[in-house]
Amino acid sequence: MKTAKKVLSVLLAGAMTASLAVAFTGCNNNGEGGESGGSGSKTIYVVAKGDSHAFWQSVKAGAEAAAKDRGYTINFRGPASESAKDLPSQLEMATTAVSQGAAGIVIGTIGEGFTNVLSQAYDKGIPVVQFDSGVWANDIKALDDMNKNPIIASVATSNRDAAALAAENFFNEIKADIAASEKYVVGIIQHDETQTGIDRAGGFEEKFKALAEADETTKGKVTIEKEVKPGDADNAYRTALEALYEKGINALYMCNEGVVKQVSDAIAAAGNKYDNIKFCGFDAGTKQIDWMKATSGPKLVGSVAQDSYQIGYQAVEQVINAIEKKDVTETVGIAGQWWNAENVDELIKSNIVYEG
């Protein structure tokens, strides 16, 4: 879910070398490889960025299913929040995973400072998969410089592709409105300044502009206005909504669940002020689902959800592949899923759209 200040391409560019993948494919639980393999452990430690939010509960369900399918167990832990104040807690969780002789580790960190513990995982022959927004770029670089990078795979939503999917579907929904206008302003609220935020905003903007310019009925009519915030503190997203409203937006794309929640609350308190604006979201959650199903007020046309269940499932599957000397897919991109009032109940049942 969500946010972190790192670039997966950094990992792909240098960290996951062929020799590293081979080295950790040799770590298994039959005594071949590092200390983890020798312990005979069948426990995968998953160190997430949270554990109570519905997104992480869905990730956990996927992780547990993958482990069960392969005869392993899961130890799933996450800090109380994704803020810097809980970084020491998450670091302790990762340290415990290494000291307890995990068969493998799946991790997504909320900050920097994991170089030592991950280098210890390397020394012990414990394969590591980074998931969601992964491990921060500076830690990756430090591990590479030490030649002690245990990360053998990366599993995450492709934020640019998911954002492009949102743009494509949103454009199709409002195309007639654009065609009937002389000028149409589309707003974007980028939820933070991390790579996740950049990709979700940039992927949407690039795709939407391309679609608008490629259609003769909408060509030259669309202007994009963007508000970038460092996070959700102090009602930052409400402030962004108001700033974009003053710029005359006709439609608004919101880059994560936190934006949707604050915008939804602002709309509920504003009477009919925003009724003429059409909205597009990202992620899921009960508040977004309820807005999607609403039959009055400003319309939330649709949203794009991460397949959080598959993020958990695929991450655990890759680390088990490494343990068992099977082929590891170094980069697993999880596709986003467009959802709206018509298919939301079906996607809730399939663990793609989460409640909570």
Q: Is residue 96 part of a domain?
A: yes
Report how far apart the first and last C-alpha atoms of the chain are (Å, whole number): 14
The amino acid that residue 322 corresponds to is A
- Average pLDDT of the residues in 192-198: 88
Domains held by the chain: number: 2
pTM given for the model:
0.74
Answer yes or no: do 136 and 63 share one domain: yes
List Cα–Cα distances, 149 to 12, 22, 29, 118, 121, in angstroms.
12, 12, 20, 7, 9
Task: Let me know whether 151 and 163 are in one domain.
Answer: no
In a domain, 345, yes or no: no
Q: Quick one: 326 and 211 in the same domain?
A: no
Q: Cα 246 to chain center, whole Å?
A: 30
So what's the pLDDT on residue 277? 98
Spatial separation of the C-alpha atoms in residues 222 and 207, rounded to whole Å? 12
Kindly report, residue by residue over 75-115, the tens digit of the pLDDT.
999 999 888 899 999 999 999 999 999 999 999 999 999 99
Residue 349 covered by a domain: no
Query: Which residues form the domain of 190?
Result: 159-305
Q: Please report whether residue 326 resides in a domain.
A: yes
Local confidence band at 41 (pLDDT 50, 70, 90 cut-offs): confident
User: Cβ distance 188 to 225 under 8 Å?
Assistant: yes
pLDDT at residue 149 greater than cutoff 90: yes
Cα–Cα distance, 115 to 146 (Å, whole number): 10
Over residues 230-276, the pLDDT tens digits come to 988 899 999 999 999 999 999 999 999 999 999 999 999 999 999 99
Rounded Cα distance between 324 and 181, Å, is: 59
180 plus 301 within the same structural domain: yes
Determine what percent of the chain is predicted with pLDDT higher than 70.
89
Are residues 257 and 167 located together in one domain of the fold? yes
Are residues 137 and 13 both part of a single domain? yes
Q: Which helix (H) or strand (E) is 211 found in, with range?
A: helix 195-214
Residue 289 and residue 302: Cα distance in Å, rounded? 10
Angle between helices 236-246 and 257-268 (to 10 degrees): 70
